[in-house]
Amino acid sequence: MTVRLLLTGYSTAARNMAIDESVLHHVASGDSPPTFRLYGWKPPAVSIGYFQSLAEEVDLDVCDELGVEVVRRITGGGAVFHDDEVTYSAVIPENWGSVPDSIPESYEYICGGILKGLEGLGIDARFQGLNDIAAGGKKISGNAQTRRKGMILQHGTILISIDLERMFTLLKVPSEKTRKKLIDSAKERVTGINDILTNHVSFEDVISALAGGFERSLGVEFERSELSENELSMADKVAGEKYGTEDWNHMR
Amino acid sequence: MKKKVLVEDPKGKFLKIYMDFDETINEIVITGDFFAHPEQAIDELQENLTGAKAESGEIKRILEDFFEEKGVRMYGISFEGLYKGIMECLEGEDDG
């Protein structure tokens, strides 16, 4: 089976989320084929889960000072600091190939590609809980899924490295004292590819490894492609009229 | 009266609930890092709770009805967590 692969490089937070939504819309309407996309965030950004409160979770003044963008996702889950990482999104019909109907099982099914990708880089990782991947017991990838219009949109991040001090200045914490504790405990629980490998890898290395991982795990062949004209114009529109607005980002 | 509470849901995630109420619930916002499919189900639950009597029997009935509805799949949020959070809002001091 041939599947479309989009490598869209780095984009702003609003544009990244708008592209995912536009692809979801166009795969659902049958105008675009099932699609995997690999991408990054520039400038760095914090994304929050659909049900989170932006003002409660994120220190917007600090984000502003440090040039970090913020955006609400259409998927649930927690706040994520997107910096030195690769993000993927998969947009496939709910009844596609052998994808399980159960949400927990479908997370594991799609995450199988990340495990294979990490394996290709020499990292032994495992799927854990509902939607995480851990290497050496530490979380290296978080994933979130929504189901709309008969489609699964799953996106997630694979950490290359993580600056936890920076992350916890961007996220709101109950007090300075707990900030230190949270950082210390996160150091025990979170890791990145380049924290594990002695020969450090680049954004591009991780993208090729993940693309190969998804192909092997899902038994598909990727065909490199670009966003269609219609996808691009909807992405532009949705970036400006939804993901870039206070109404959406401060909805809760 | 306005209240904001943080409760740990037995399903493992934290729920933050904001409520404005007197005899009835004027406004309720359910936030957290949970998942609900479809997502709009939580907006509907907020609507169902808005205007409801601010007392345990009524809250319990609305939550039970919601969780009995078929087809809403939730992870990290449960009847117990929501009920606990809303009751903590009702019983606590005014946050202003």
Please indicate whether, in this complex, the C-beta atoms of A52 and B75 are within 8 angstroms of each other: no
The predicted-structure confidence for B35-87, as pLDDT tens digits, reads as follows 999 999 999 999 999 999 999 999 999 999 998 877 789 999 999 999 999 99
User: Stretch A157-161: mean pLDDT, rounded?
Assistant: 98
CA distance A154 to A20: 9
Please compute the mean of the pLDDT values over residues A50-71 and round it to a whole number. Answer: 97
The amino acid sitting at A204 is E
Average of per-residue pLDDT across A41-56: 97
Q: Do the domain assignments include residue B57?
A: yes
Residue A56 near chain B (CB below 8 Å): yes
How many domains is chain B built from?
1
Q: Tell me, yes or no, whether A249 lies in a domain.
A: no
- Find which of B39, B43, B77 to mutate to test the A interface (most A CBs within 10 Å of its CB): B39
Instruction: Look up the domain containing B75 and give its range.
Output: 2-91
Nearest by CB to A51, which of B18, B38, B42? B42
A200 contacts: CB under 8 Å, gap ≥ 6 = A194
Q: What residues have CB less than 8 Å from B5, skipping those under 6 apart?
A: B16, B17, B85, B88, B89, B92
To the nearest whole angstrom, how far is the Cα of A224 from the nearest Cα of chain B? 31
> Which of A236-245, B10-19, B77-86 is the least confident region?
B10-19
Q: Do A103 and B33 touch (CB under 8 A)?
A: no
B96 within some domain? no
Task: Show residues of chain A in contact with B31, CB under 8 Å.
Answer: 51-53, 56, 252
Q: How many CB atoms are located within 10 Å of the residue A160 CB?
A: 22
The pLDDT tens digits of the residues spanning A112-144 come to 999 999 999 999 999 999 999 999 999 999 999
Identify whether B20 is part of a domain: yes
Adjacency order of strands within the sheet including B14-21: B2-8, B14-21, B25-32
Cβ distance B35 to A147 less than 8 Å, yes or no, reads no
Average pLDDT over every residue of A136-158: 97
The boundaries of the domain holding residue A167 are: 2-237
Domain total of chain A: 1
In a domain, residue A248? The reply is no
Mean pLDDT along residues A92-102: 94
- A218 inside domain: yes
| Per-residue pLDDT tens digits for A170-228 | 999 888 889 999 999 999 999 999 999 999 999 999 999 999 999 999 999 999 999 99
Contacts of B37 in chain A (CB under 8 A): 103, 146-147
Residue A11 pLDDT exceeds 90: yes
Q: Look at residue B14 and tell me whether its pLDDT is greater than 80.
A: yes
The CATH number of the domain holding residue B41 is: 3.30.390.50
Q: Which of B36, B8, B9 is nearest to A74 (CA)?
A: B36
Domain with A99 in it: what CATH number? 3.30.930.10
**Which residue type, as a one-letter code, is found at position A187?**
K
Decide if A194 is inside a domain: yes
